[in-house]
Amino acid sequence: MSVYNYENITYEFTGGSVINDPKDTKQEGVLLHFRDKTGKFSLTMYIDKRDAAHIVQLIRMGRQYWKRFRLPKTKEC
């Protein structure tokens, strides 16, 4: 089993939008926008609606454990 150190996270979530265009581009999903902590780079991630539904289901199932077991707070460097 490996444990990830959450202090090394370099991107933060800055916003998102929902894409619903079934006629022209056939794209339906979610755009997520991230920015690194220095502000120099940005990252845009597209998630298909089926993958987004799997993520939502995973988060709903995980909430029962998040109340009892909390991750340690990250430290600002």
Q: Which amino acid is at 18?
A: V
pLDDT band for position 77 (cuts 50, 70, 90): low
What are the Cα distances from residue 71, in Å, to 55, 59, 68, 74? 19, 15, 10, 9
DSSP 39: S
Q: pLDDT digits over 8-53, tens only?
A: 778 888 999 998 887 887 788 999 999 988 888 888 999 999 999 9
What are 4's two structure tokens? 């990830």
What are 50's two structure tokens? 């089926």
For 59-73, what is the mean pLDDT? 74
pLDDT, position 4: 67
pTM > 0.85: no
CA angle 16, 13, 10 (to 5 degrees): 150
What are 17's two structure tokens? 């939008």
Segments making up each domain of the chain, as ranges: 7-66
Say which residue, 77 or 57, is predicted with more confidence.
57
